[in-house]
């Protein structure tokens, strides 16, 4: 049986019921996911999504998915509180920018490596070395294609 960290039913309401100033029923849908000692979690979720929307969403989900849904809502709500305009999209797009600039940096470095090897091996027209250079640049590309 899940008691959601509550010691004795209504004696210690979950964080949600405490904030909403209502009685915490034994079958309270919030209780397993918003324990009394983590009141900040419900506070930000309530501020961003609204308690009734969170309630509705949890009721529409099978029980085994509710904990994940709460984690993602808490994450999204905290991001929205920190950044009211972009929320977690702000984090995603800044990471995408990082990926783009690192991919550019990598491409430049790989081109430099190829260029240096070409220069190194051009004087004595040894074709096996040129093949090796070509193989390595293919390895670099396949890393990004998967
Ligand atoms: Zn409750």
Distance from the alpha carbon of residue 14 to the mean position of ligand 1, in angstroms: 4
Is residue 116 within a helix (H) or strand (E), and if so which, with residue range?
A: helix 87-121
Q: Is the dihedral of CA 10, 16, 17, 19 positive or negative?
A: positive
Distance from the alpha carbon of residue 80 to the mean position of ligand 1, in angstroms: 24
Residues lining ligand 1 (ion), CB within 5 A? 14, 17, 24, 28, 30-31
Distance from the alpha carbon of residue 19 to the mean position of ligand 1, in angstroms: 9
What are the distances in angstroms from CA 137 to CA 30, 68, 106, 123?
A: 54, 41, 11, 21
Residues 39, 31: Cα–Cα separation, whole Å: 11
Is the predicted pLDDT of residue 145 greater than 70, yes or no? no
Distance from the alpha carbon of residue 47 to the mean position of ligand 1, in angstroms: 17
Residues 145, 53: Cα–Cα separation, whole Å: 40
Distance from the alpha carbon of residue 12 to the mean position of ligand 1, in angstroms: 9
Distance from the alpha carbon of residue 64 to the mean position of ligand 1, in angstroms: 19
- Residue range 86-133, pLDDT digits in tens: 999 999 999 999 999 999 999 999 999 999 999 988 765 555 555 554
DSSP-derived letter for residue 25 is -
Burial (CB count within 10 angstroms: exposed 0-12, middle 13-18, buried 19+), residue 86: middle
The whole-model pTM stands at 0.65
Distance from the alpha carbon of residue 81 to the mean position of ligand 1, in angstroms: 23
Distance from the alpha carbon of residue 4 to the mean position of ligand 1, in angstroms: 9
Residues 21, 11: Cα–Cα separation, whole Å: 13
- Residue range 30-66, pLDDT digits in tens: 999 999 999 999 999 999 999 999 999 999 999 999 9
Distance from the alpha carbon of residue 23 to the mean position of ligand 1, in angstroms: 7
């Amino acid at each position: 049986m899940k008691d959601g960290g509550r010691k004795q039913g209504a004696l210690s309401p979950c964080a949600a019921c405490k904030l909403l100033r209502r009685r915490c029923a034994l079958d309270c849908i919030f209780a397993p996911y918003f324990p009394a000692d983590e009141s900040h979690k419900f506070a930000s979720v309530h501020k961003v999504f609204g308690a009734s929307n969170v309630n509705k969403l949890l009721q529409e989900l099978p029980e085994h998915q509710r904990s994940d849904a709460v984690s993602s809502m808490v994450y999204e709500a905290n991001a929205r509180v920190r950044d009211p305009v972009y929320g977690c999209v702000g984090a995603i797009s800044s990471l995408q920018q990082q990926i783009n600039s690192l991919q550019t940096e990598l491409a430049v470095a790989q081109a430099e490596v190829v260029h240096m090897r070409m220069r190194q091996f051009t004087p004595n027209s040894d074709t096996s070395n040129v093949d090796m250079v070509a193989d390595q640049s293919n390895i670099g590309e396949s890393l990004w294609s998967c």
